[in-house]
């Protein structure tokens, strides 16, 4: 029996190894030689051309972890300043718009440089999440430790170290904010 795939790099997908395989630049031909009748569990004629994906870059990993990063940031904001549902929606829009812009800008420039530019925009827009100067400062600290550093951590080669530093800074911020009372919001901020 002979089967020909009309594309290069094909592989057989049955349980019986072909007796002969011929590949030219445009197609692959498989030949099975049987002396008797054959019954197989998997049928013949299914071909695949899936080479392993080697160079995916860094953005797919970042986009897979984007919801977790967003939840991290929102949790920090929620534990630091009073957040209304409208503020959560605005923060979500800002965060995911910056990530979407990063995916397109990374085609033309270095992703770390693009994220640095987008971080400045993210910081300016997150300033408005606070109702006063002290609440806005808390929003800036949360944005740095909960959004900017974790995304940067997934863009640089030292991801584990950068994410650990971001987590440590987040915990230090929450401890300073809640346990030690070094940074208190005024009653009109709450």
Higher-scoring residue by pLDDT: 10, 43: 10
- The predicted-structure confidence for 104-121, as pLDDT tens digits, reads as follows 888 888 888 989 999 999
Do residues 81 and 129 lie in contact, with contact meaning Cβ atoms separated by under 8 Å?
Answer: yes
- The predicted-structure confidence for 146-169, as pLDDT tens digits, reads as follows 888 888 888 887 777 878 888 888
- Which band of pLDDT confidence, cut at 50, 70 and 90, is reported for residue 42? low
Check pLDDT > 70 for residue 41.
Answer: no
Higher-scoring residue by pLDDT: 3, 183: 3
> What is the pLDDT of the chain when averaged over all its residues?
78
Check pLDDT > 90 for residue 60.
Answer: no
CA 102/CA 10 separation, integer angstroms: 36
CA 66/CA 71 separation, integer angstroms: 9
CA 113/CA 105 separation, integer angstroms: 10
- Parse the chain into domains and list their residue ranges: 1-51, 59-189
Check pLDDT > 50 for residue 190.
Answer: no
Do residues 119 and 146 lie in contact, with contact meaning Cβ atoms separated by under 8 Å?
Answer: no
* Chain-centroid distance, C-alpha 72: 14
Q: So what's the pLDDT on residue 74?
A: 92
């Amino acid at each position: 029996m002979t089967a020909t795939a009309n594309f290069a790099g094909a592989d057989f997908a049955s349980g019986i190894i072909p007796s002969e395989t011929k590949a030219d630049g445009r197609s692959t031909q498989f030949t099975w030689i049987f002396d008797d009748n054959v019954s197989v569990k998997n049928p013949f004629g299914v071909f695949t051309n899936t080479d392993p994906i080697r160079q995916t870059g860094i953005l797919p990993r970042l986009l897979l972890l984007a919801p977790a990063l967003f939840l991290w940031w929102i949790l920090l904001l929620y534990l630091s300043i009073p957040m209304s549902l409208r503020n959560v929606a605005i923060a979500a829009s800002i965060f995911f718009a910056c990530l979407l812009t990063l995916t397109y800008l990374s085609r033309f420039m270095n992703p770390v440089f693009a994220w640095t530019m987008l971080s400045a925009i993210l910081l300016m827009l997150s300033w408005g999440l606070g109702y006063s100067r002290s609440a806005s400062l808390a929003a800036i600290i949360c944005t740095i430790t909960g959004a900017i550093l974790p995304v940067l951590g997934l863009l640089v080669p030292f991801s584990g170290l950068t994410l650990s530093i971001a987590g440590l800074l987040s915990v230090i911020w929450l401890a300073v904010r809640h346990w030690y009372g070094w940074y208190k919001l005024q009653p009109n901020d709450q």
